[in-house]
Structure 1
């Protein structure tokens, strides 16, 4: 499975109706639905804000909504496109502004499918790997050496606080943690201890 990192909203015109699709990272169904609620507020002049999401390490939690479109013409086709992408922890929303011409059920399925596919064309992703959140302190004298070790191990620094010691928060793949733990312990003569 892969996770969504970034992309740009896409727009598609079908018989004067405008479809705007956007992807966003979401780890839970609640987070996905909150993003959908934000889109509803953001595009309050849009007729329908359809969504589909896939979450979970195996992509086994899924949901979708037609948001007032005829049943099965919007949310389900969007979800099928997402399922084919291999992504998880993602929500795809599509806002539709009516252009004056009815598309019919087949036309709606085609338009929502095409809009979802367009949104997936130019995105950045990465493989979903188990990550560990870390929060630890480092003596100032070892800070530069530790930063080099962290960079070499793939550690992603989220925050640093310069107090009596440097407090570092970030994440690392679970597989890389044992080796980093050993290297930091050896470098610091046991002063730097990473949580188990």
Structure 2
């Protein structure tokens, strides 16, 4: 089961005079992630590197930001994958301390910065949902609402006209069962959009 994070969590490591500021945080997608990296550059104009990794919307991305290829972004991304995270951006701001760490040292430093931040993070199960729209006769509205509750659906909008139009959000794995139950309750008179 994939997870996301409840909120941002930070870490700080000092390795051979270099300072690594790690952060893991929930994001909606790549656009928000890139904007967040730009904010970090504004907050840390003297930093040497801001490396990042993203798992969001079924896509992944990794950026070494000038570090040797494969020593920062990709190892950070592997930490996110290993933790089964989705909708999460990992960033590490590096202030260079004058001592080169070598490829192995860089991989460990960037991996550790993300892993340390994740130790304090609250993981939240990511439940995929589906939005459904159904129109039912007034006589069945109460029974339909009970089915929504029983299936963990959230009623987003209700419009009362000739019939009752309901817009709802339901966990994806319960959507077909809900449709079937509503059809049964409404004796085949439910109209799905």
Q: TM-score, normalised by structure 2?
A: 0.73
Post-superposition offset of 1:127: 6.3
How far the C-alpha of 1:142 sits from its partner, in A, is 4.2
**Aligned pair count?**
183
Contact in 2 for aligned 1:138/1:168 (Cα 8 Å):
no
Coordinate RMSD, CA, aligned: 3.1
Q: Are 2:76 and 2:114, in contact at CA under 8 Å, matched by a contact in 1?
A: yes
Question: Which ranges of 4 or more aligned residues in structure 1 deviate by more than 6 Å?
Answer: none
Could you tell me which residue of structure 2 aligns to residue 146 of structure 1? Answer: 144
Structure 1 stretches lacking a partner, 5+ long: none
Query: What is the aligned partner in structure 1 of residue 122 from structure 2?
Result: 123
User: Which position in structure 2 is the counterpart of 1:21?
Assistant: 23
Contact conserved, 2:54 with 2:89, CA < 8 A, in 1?
Answer: yes
Deviates more, 1:37-46 or 1:47-56: 47-56
Larger Rg: 2
Distance 1:194 1:124 in 2: 35
Report if aligned partners of 1:5, 1:125 keep a CA contact under 8 Å in 2: yes
Q: 1:182 to 1:80 in 2, by over 3 A?
A: closer
Structure 2 residue ranges without an equivalent (≥5): none
Q: State the shift of 1:41 in Å.
A: 2.6
Shift of 1:39: 1.0
1:110 paired residue number: 108
- How has the CA–CA distance of structure 1 residues 91 and 177 changed in structure 2, closer, same or farther, with 3 Å as cutoff? closer
TM-score (norm 1): 0.72
Shift of 1:184: 1.2
